[in-house]
Amino acid sequence: MRVAADPAHPDSTFVEDVAVLTDECAVLTRPGAATRVGEVQTIRRFLDQLFPASKIQTIEAPGTVDGGDVCEAGDHFFIGISARTNKAGAEQLARWIASGGYTSGVVDIRHESTLLHLKSGIAYLSENRLVLTEALASRDEFAGYEQVRVSADEEYGANCVKINDYVLIPAGCVKLDQELQSLGYRTIALEMSEFQKMDGGLSCLSLRF
């Protein structure tokens, strides 16, 4: 499915922020930026085509959640506490995904000045392997994972997306591209400079489950 352009909500191209999807349920978020709250109902109309009403949940005030702060790693979810996702929202999301059999844990990134969202610095590649920026790589929350560390000059590349047999990466991340290929991944480099200007990354542009 493709969502039509919405001139009333210029950030709505970053569709990932307004819903968190699993095989068991969909959770409509409550974005941390007030200007984005109107995007939720648009996405609800699409989710109604994919999930029965009983499987669609919502984040309620005072909770806020941006989907960019939620990283699915197999059956576990990392939920970032950030300027956009607060503790109340993280707790609500954790309860909803737990009902589907998933575990979760919070990662407080409020002191990581280079990260708007948790997934600005992390991606899950499957097989217990994470792509991480140096700022996140030393965190205890990720100690049990094999790590692909992104150098400081390519840290934008940490927001990559594995789809089927390919990993989508931002163009220009040459060292990350070589590292992923050395691990057996096939990569596709995509031009992302215009989205990067708005702190948007590859994962922001789609909803996946």
Q: How far apart, in whole angstroms, are the C-alpha atoms of residue 37 and residue 24?
A: 24
Number of Cβ atoms within 10 Å of the Cβ of 114: 12
Dihedral sign for Cα 179, 180, 185, 190, please.
negative
Q: Which of 25, 160, 173, 204 is catalytic?
A: 204
Q: Which of 25, 71, 117, 160 is catalytic?
A: 117
Is 117 a catalytic site residue?
yes
Residue 34 DSSP SS3: helix
CA torsion 92-73-98-85 (nearest 10°) is 0
Beta pairing partners, 189: 169
Is 204 a catalytic site residue?
yes
Catalytic residue numbers? 117, 204
